[in-house]
């Protein structure tokens, strides 16, 4: 298997995408936050002292998508056209599923931006709730869907 982030001498390089034609690129990624059911209830009732947990996490995720090239060394700076961060809660399981969607008309995909958005949103939930619940766990960070470019559509199958 060849990795395209290395040149013939084994040096790390940013992949040259200058020859590619821009296409509409879309990616959706998810991260899951596991927490005590009482903590999730407090989040949903607005009872966390630091404020609106999901609102702040949404803003953090959107900002993170825009900062991806600053965080991931070989990723390309992209002009993002859409970033959204949405939450699905499961009160019985004590779980928040965070889904981030990113779109751009670019020469390379937006998977890293979507995964960064979901991950930073999850970290923000942890940060805002750690005083209430130190047992919070973040897991299952994954790419759910991508389209655009030569490789076409990827849809994650249920595990």
CA distance 10 to 34: 40
Q: One of 16, 70, 90, 127 is an active-site residue; which one?
A: 127
The number of beta carbons lying within 10 Å of the beta carbon of residue 35 is 22
Q: How many CB atoms lie within 10 A of CB 147?
A: 17
Joined tokens for residue 26: 């879309």
- In DSSP notation, 100-145 reads EEEEEEESS--HHHHHHHHHHHHHHHHHHHTTT-TT-EEEEEEEEE
133 in catalytic set: no
Q: Which residues carry out catalysis?
A: 127
């Amino acid at each position: 298997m060849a990795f395209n982030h290395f040149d013939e001498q084994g040096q790390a390089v940013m992949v040259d995408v200058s020859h590619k034609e821009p296409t509409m690129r879309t990616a959706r990624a998810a991260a899951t936050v596991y927490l005590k059911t009482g903590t999730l209830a407090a989040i949903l009732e607005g009872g966390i002292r630091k404020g609106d947990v999901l609102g702040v996490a949404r803003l953090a995720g959107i900002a993170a998508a825009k900062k991806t090239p600053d965080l991931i060394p070989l990723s390309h700076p992209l002009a993002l056209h859409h970033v959204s961060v949405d939450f699905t809660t499961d009160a019985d399981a004590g779980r928040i599923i965070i889904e981030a969607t990113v779109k751009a008309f670019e020469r390379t995909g937006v998977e890293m931006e979507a995964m960064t958005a979901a991950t930073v949103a999850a970290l923000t939930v942890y940060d805002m709730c750690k005083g209430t619940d130190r047992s919070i766990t973040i897991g299952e960070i994954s790419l759910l869907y991508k389209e655009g470019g030569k490789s076409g559509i990827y849809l994650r199958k249920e595990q």
